[in-house]
Amino acid sequence: MAYLFDEFFASGAEESVSPFLTPQSRSWGENLSLKSAFGAACFLILAFGFSFTHPPLSNLFLSLVYFLAGVPALIAAFNDLKNLEINIDVLMTLAAFLAVLIGSGLEGALLLVLFELSHGMEDSVSRKARSALHNLNNLAPKFAHAIDRDGIVFEKAVREIQTGTHLLIKQGEIVPLDGTVIEGTSSVNLVHLTGESTPNLKIPGDLLPAGARNLESALTMEVTRTSSDSTLTRIIQLITAAQEAKPRVQRWLDQFGKTYASTIIGLTALFALLLPWILSIPYLGIEGSVYRALAFMIAASPCALIIATPTAYLSAISACAKKGILLKGGIILDALASVTQIAFDKTGTLTTGHLECTAIESLTNSLLPLDTALAIAAALERQVVHPIATAICNLAADKKIALPEIKQFKTVPGYGLEGVLANGTAVAIGLPEHIAAKLNHKLPITKNAGQVLTLLLIGSDLFALRFSDQIRPKMDEFLRKIEQINGLTPLMLTGDHEQNANHVANLLGIQQIHANLRPEDKLAKVAELAEHGGLAMVGDGINDAPALARATVGISMGRIGSATAVDASDVVLLNDDLAQLNWLFLKAKMTKRIVGQNIGLALAVICLATTPALLGLIPLWLAVVLHEGGTVLVGLNSLRLLK
């Protein structure tokens, strides 16, 4: 079996999916930094225990801690320094290693273990949340069934197919390139492209967009666009461009961290150089300026500061996961907190995206009960896989109607189904034009915007079955709350016609509507709106993916959403429950508040406890109690986000 390299490349060459490792041993590479942090934590406990009884043994375990937790921190710190970046990580690593010089190896090791643990947990959570981006490429078929001059069908790489090539699209396959139907009749749906599940009939001469799924029978098409400019490739290119153009949300804390670390490192150097001149003390020795400066640096890197942010983010991410909300990293919480507008796609997001049979009516004043007509329709439709068939069968199943036997069943691809009942009555269901052709006269029926119509013919009795996409339950209440509680302005961005968009918007009370938008138009609109304040975009189709990638926060639906939309988004609602968004925005704001409180607490520990202790203003034991107490308080404060 061929190895699937896509997952490996999408993971950033992670060893847990390395193609070179035996499948049995790949699990050794999972969550390595977290495993290493836990190992280091165990050794630290041993080192602490033995420090009272066997100091050499304590030092042995301390060496193991520095090896396991210190080496990764050291490599990361050197990489930061190579990029001329002095941040809080560099400060912590420097303080941890310099602690050995002044005989505070245990304190340094504690810093390293906490540092490694928080990074390990963040990595682990992010890895779980980050869905593999290879789905983006999986969507686009890699090869197609080309037909040569002799009529022989063979596989050919999509990127090598030129315009004019004839391709065979089998039932259930995704159309690989844009083209024109030259043979066959079938229905296709664009559910992967637009979220729209309504099937479209394709007959010779019709355009067939890449990404459409062929629902019924085989089609032969002629390629009109190569892979470099097909619809699907264009959307994927748009997504990539949007991801690159997306303004990088920076943790507000990062800038603070840089300033703080640079200040502390600068002050340490200053104290080491100037203290002998000010206090008339030597440079070296336990009373020397170098020793005091190092002690100052270690004191200014308290545990509380390390755990202030990761514990808060991890608690919030964990609480979201429990509710079925997947966040692709803690930084998304910051972005969510900055959002002021929220845009929704229509089909599949505000509506369910599935057709429902909303009405059955007799067009010929038939005496046949409507339930009997439904039973006959379901008996015909249960033989095929089609969105309309599913809707009819679901309704019949809900009504618990027994289905009659159908004989001489046959399909007319793209048009309908035919058969004969046990009593010999001919029955047919399908497109109005198909049924009209059987009756040899025009039918006086109308359909409303957004409605799909199917006709059922039982002998000479004619029935109309109407289908439409339904608005999700309690959507109006959700939108009212999101405006009132979170102060967000809702708007609609849709590729659908203005009439359909207005109809749904009116029902839901959405004021701002942007309709008839192609994927690139949606992207441009999102970019424009995002300039006037944080914008969250909620969508589910591939056509939404560029906009989801470009928005301040992209939110997708896990169940009905296309894999591409899920990949391009930052937040995934695993249960497709939009009502959870109100809770999520509140949680994001609370997280930001708690991170701020944690930082304040950590700084208070430095100012009120550790530094005065170094200057001899408060006893050391009190400093230790305040220091550790501060760490515990920060941890407990973060745990509030678990609720």
Partner 1 sequence: MNGPNHFEGKDPLEHVIEARRKGKLAASEIHGEELSGHYSAAGSAAKETAIIILILLALTNTISPYLLLSFLFGLLIWKTSSSAILGWRRLERLHRLIEEERWEIEHHRPQEREELTALYAAKGFSGKQLEEVIDVLMADDNRLLQIMLEEELGLNLEAFEHPLKQAVGAAMGVIGASALLVFGLSFLPYWGALLCGLFVIAVAAGFTAHLEKNRPLSAIIWNIAAAMLASGCAYFLGQLFYP
Catalytic residues: 345
Cβ-based neighbour number of residue 148 at 10 Å: 11
Please tell me whether residue 160 binds partner 1 under the rule CB under 8 A: yes
CB of 193 to partner 1, least distance (A): 23
Binders of partner 1 among residues 45 to 74 (CB under 8 A) are 67
Q: Which two tokens stand for residue 333?
A: 């919480």
The angle subtended at Cα 191 by Cα 199 and Cα 352, nearest 5°, is: 95
Please tell me whether residue 130 binds partner 1 under the rule CB under 8 A: no
CB of 159 to partner 1, least distance (A): 8
CB nearer to partner 1: pick between 4 and 279: 4
Part in contact with partner 1 (CB under 8 A); list of ranges 9-17, 241-249, 283-291, 602-610:
9-17
Burial class of residue 618 in the structure, from the number of CB atoms within 10 Å of its CB (0-12 exposed, 13-18 middle, 19+ buried): middle
Please tell me whether residue 143 binds partner 1 under the rule CB under 8 A: yes
Please tell me whether residue 164 binds partner 1 under the rule CB under 8 A: no
CB of 319 to partner 1, least distance (A): 33
CB nearer to partner 1: pick between 227 and 610: 227
Please tell me whether residue 38 binds partner 1 under the rule CB under 8 A: no
For residue 307, give the nearest of 85, 628, 612 by alpha carbon. 628
CB of 138 to partner 1, least distance (A): 10
Please tell me whether residue 3 binds partner 1 under the rule CB under 8 A: yes
How many residues interact with partner 1 (rule CB under 8 A)? Answer: 29
CB of 157 to partner 1, least distance (A): 5
CB of 500 to partner 1, least distance (A): 40
Q: If phi over 0 gives left and psi between -120 and 50 gives alpha, with beta otherwise, what is residue 424?
A: left
Among 54, 128, 142, 410, binds partner 1 (CB under 8 A): 142
Part in contact with partner 1 (CB under 8 A); list of ranges 22-30, 194-202, 288-296, 485-493:
22-30
Among 153, 157, 270, 397, binds partner 1 (CB under 8 A): 157
For residue 380, give the nearest of 424, 412, 423, 410 by alpha carbon. 410
Among 22, 280, 365, 446, binds partner 1 (CB under 8 A): 22
DSSP β-bridge partners for residue 453: 466
| 537-543-549-553 Cα dihedral, nearest 10 degrees | 10
Q: Mutual orientation of helices 475-484 and 498-508 as an angle, nearest 10°?
A: 70
Is the distance from CB of 551 to CB of 537 less than 8 angstroms?
yes
CB of 173 to partner 1, least distance (A): 15
Among 77, 105, 120, 156, binds partner 1 (CB under 8 A): 156
CB nearer to partner 1: pick between 1 and 422: 1
Burial class of residue 623 in the structure, from the number of CB atoms within 10 Å of its CB (0-12 exposed, 13-18 middle, 19+ buried): buried
DSSP β-bridge partners for residue 174: 213
Binders of partner 1 among residues 192 to 251 (CB under 8 A) are none
Q: Mutual orientation of helices 88-101 and 252-279 as an angle, nearest 10°?
A: 40
Give the integer Cα–Cα distance in Å for 543 and 443. 36
Please tell me whether residue 466 binds partner 1 under the rule CB under 8 A: no
CB nearer to partner 1: pick between 155 and 244: 155
CB nearer to partner 1: pick between 156 and 202: 156
Q: What is the DSSP string of 384-442?
A: S--HHHHHHHHHHHHTTPPPPPEEEEEEETTTEEEEEETTS-EEEEE-HHHHHHHHTS-
CB nearer to partner 1: pick between 13 and 437: 13
For residue 560, give the nearest of 184, 40, 194, 314 by alpha carbon. 194
Q: Applying CB under 8 A, which residues contact partner 1? A: 2-6, 8-9, 13, 15, 18-23, 25-26, 28-29, 32, 67, 142-143, 154-157, 159-160
